[in-house]
Amino acid sequence: MKKNNYVYLLDGKIYINLTNLCTNDCVFCIRDIKDDVVGANLFLDSEKTDVEEVKKQLDEIKPEKYSEIVFCGYGEPILKLEELKIVAEYIKKKYPHLKTRINTNGQGNLIYKRNIVPELKGLIDSVSISFNGENKKVYDELSRPKLENAYESMKDFIKECVKEGIETTATIVTGYKNYKVDLDSCKKQIEEMGAKFRERPWLDNGY
């Protein structure tokens, strides 16, 4: 049986891949371009996340040698909130030197219909949130969200993370095909919310 790759390495960091599901369908989603990142096939056999297997793969990668771990993968990690919290707690107990981050579309509160950010406090040190566009029109065009009010909810999520003292970065993918994003407006809005702005230039095989 094929092994599910829950844990992989990229740019000297450990990444955790909990799901292939997402509430967005971004035009530039890397899942639509290739099925592997640095040789690790990230398509999972099942959406029934095996938390014990995640921990096992994590131990095998020897986390002592790394400084940061990122919940990311081919999907929206917060869709697996309970599993994510169990794994993050395991990391904080067993490998307290590791900084923890989630790369998210920022729709967690919309998905669960409650403010989940306080649940991340103490487990997650930083979040990187896909801001994607200066207004709902641009955001919807690029992110193709499946849930209503995704743009507003994502912005509220940024504010909640900042409020909880989680290091918060909001990102924009630039240079993808002919899509145009007003970077100045995005930067201004992001910084006004107290988050850091980061541009992620599109590369031919991802970003």
44 vs 187: CA distance, rounded Å: 35
145 vs 24: CA distance, rounded Å: 4
Among 5, 42, 70, 75, interactor with ligand SF4 by CB under 6 A: 75
67 vs 112: CA distance, rounded Å: 30
Shortest Å, Cβ 52 to ligand SF4: 25
**Which residue, 43 or 95, has its beta carbon nearer to ligand SF4?**
43
Shortest Å, Cβ 185 to ligand SF4: 21
**Which residue, 25 or 53, has its beta carbon nearer to ligand SF4?**
25
**Which residue, 64 or 204, has its beta carbon nearer to ligand SF4?**
204
Taking CB under 6 A as the criterion, which residues in 5-34 touch ligand SF4?
22, 24-26, 29, 31
> Are the CB atoms for 171 and 128 separated by under 8 Å?
yes
The CA distances from residue 184 to 28, 114, 133, 181, 191, in Å, are 21, 31, 11, 9, 11
Is 141 among the residues that bind ligand SF4 (CB under 6 A)?
A: no
Shortest Å, Cβ 64 to ligand SF4: 29
**Other C-beta atoms lying within 10 Å of the C-beta of residue 105:** 27
Identity of the amino acid at 119: E
Residues that bind ligand SF4 (CB under 6 A): 22, 24-26, 29, 31, 75-76, 105, 130
